[in-house]
Amino acid sequence: MPAAFPTISKIKFEGPKSRNPLAFKHYNAKEVVAGKTMHDHLRFAVVYWHTFRGTGSDPFGAGTMQRPWDDGSNTVANAQNRARVAFEFIEKLGAPYYCWHDRDVAPEGATLGESNKNFDAVAGVLKEEQQRTGVKLLWGTANLFSNPRFVHGASTSCNADVFAFAAAQVKKAMEVTHELGGEGYTFWGGREGYQTLLNTDMKREQAHLARLLHLAVAYKKQIGFKGQFYIEPKPKEPTKHQYDSDAAACLNFLREYDLLPHFKLNIETNHATLAGHSMQHELEVAGAAKALGSIDANTGDELLGWDTDQFPTNIYLTTYTMLSVLKYGGFTTGGVNFDAKVRRESFEPLDLFYAHIGGMDAFARGLKIAAAIHKDGRLAEFVKQRYASWDTGIGKKIESGKATMKEIEAYILKQGEVAPNTSGRQEYLENLINEFI
Ligand code: XUL
Ligand code: CO
């Protein structure tokens, strides 16, 4: 097969002074930061859907992407060829992982049986290419939202047959993930939500979503798949309300249905902002519950209110992200997955390289800055000191559950008024962050 990117060789680290747009300025896979290589900290993954299936179409116009290797046919042969191109790209970029939906990699057939056959035929090539390049599967997932059968949702559909189809699709996607040595499996509830409550039995729909997840947990055990399960929160789009709306809602849902021990969260930046939160907020909610698993790295646009999935280049964003990731112990099964797409106007294959190189460099900088802030220790010490009143006396007694209402009342009656005696020092802390940027 002729090379799809003949003019591009392996992307190298050339350091911050390099002016080569096809080189890393900050991502040096082998460099050790805070006790681990950048490679092991960041565990970058390329997504199959945007990078190899994205057409550049939007609600106002057709696709624009130039992908000369793709013959445009919905055939297994074209899909197999595309798989080889994908690995040429990932290998040249030097990302250690990739991720897919079942329907990204292989064409959907007229029946589930046919789709499964197509999927196996392309999975064979994925396996060969993984072995050839050493690139690994971070996670797999099933597309339970594009086909019109999922118009009312998948596991939350009003039609039990649609649930059955979705469950069968998840079963197969889990099997292929397992076969390819995937380190995780993600559930993003594409249409698991509602457009109007007038036609919706919310309690029943949520119980059905939990049923699918319990079935998956049982099947995982049955086939011996050891990868991590993730739920990916998103508040809306395509539905007006998704049941997995944000990290807190997901955690509550998982707890309510006894699923929490089996899942972690895959936090996506643009989903966080659609939910009216910052990425940092979502990471802290997940981390505090010991459920921070992986991230879908991208960003929205301040002036556009939808899921634009842009490549992340904002150093504050990557710094705050990596501050939280490091704080909760770093990635184990998860990684930094670029669920991001080049703009419709960036239609040349070369743009795929620029986009990923920029994202990887932005995260490498975020990692280095966050590690330096952790090492410096002033930020963590400030937070510790801010809560010092809880480490002794009445604070300690209350926190440990040993103080009664009566004792607390007696204490405060004796104490008199309590003055607001400590500043929050927000500006000081923002300046401190800027010392490292
Ligand atoms: C959609 C989204 C998905 C999931 C995988 O907004 O983020 O691509 O990451 O289904
Ligand atoms: Co995503």
pLDDT in tens, 5-17: 999 999 999 999 9
Closest CA to ligand 1's atom 3: 188
Residue 139: nearest ligand to its CA? 1
Identify the weakest region by mean pLDDT among 46-50, 195-199, 201-205, 415-419.
415-419
Which ligand is nearest to the Cα of residue 189, counting in written order? Answer: 1
CA of 44 to the centre of ligand 2 (A): 14
Burial 202-214 (b: 16+ CB within 10 A, else e): eeebbebbbebbe
Pairing of strands 97-101, 36-37: unpaired
- Average model confidence (pLDDT) across the chain: 98
Question: Residues lining ligand 1, judged by CB closer than 6 Å?
Answer: 49, 101, 141, 186, 188, 232, 234, 268, 296, 307, 339
Q: How far apart are CA 180 and CA 128, in angstroms?
A: 10
pTM tops 0.95, yes or no:
yes
d(CA 233, CA 275): 9
Give the pLDDT band (50/70/90) at residue 420. Answer: confident
Measured by CA distance, the residue closest to atom 10 of ligand 1 is 188
Q: Which long-range contacts (CB under 8 A, 24 or more apart) does 212-217 make?
A: 212/154, 212/155, 212/163, 212/166, 212/167, 212/170, 213/187, 213/257, 213/259, 213/262, 213/263, 214/257, 214/259, 215/167, 215/170, 216/170, 216/174, 216/185, 216/187, 217/259, 217/262
Question: Ligand 1 centroid vs 266 CA: distance in angstroms?
Answer: 10
Mean pLDDT computed over 316-334: 98
Pairing of strands 292-296, 263-268: parallel
Q: Give the integer Cα–Cα distance in Å for 161 and 194.
A: 18
> Which residues form the catalytic set?
101, 104
| Residue corresponding to tokens 């986009």 | 355
Q: How far is the CA of 352 from the centre of ligand 2 (A)?
A: 18
DSSP classification of residue 14: -
Q: Whose Cα sits closest to atom 4 in ligand 1?
A: 188
Q: Cα(258)–Cα(214) distance, rounded to whole angstroms?
A: 9
At 376, give phi and psi (nearest 5°): -55, -40
Q: Whose CA is nearest to atom 7 of ligand 1?
A: 339
- Tell me the CA–centroid distance for residue 268 and ligand 2, in Å: 6
Residue 245's nearest CA partner among 272, 264, 266, 270 is 272
What tokens does 131 get?
């072995």
Please state, in angstroms and rounded to a whole number, the distance separating the CA atoms of residues 157 and 19. Answer: 52
Looking at residue 142, its pLDDT comes to: 98
The whole-number pLDDT of residue 305 equals 84
pLDDT digits (tens, 9 = 90+) for 153-185: 999 999 999 999 999 999 999 999 999 999 999
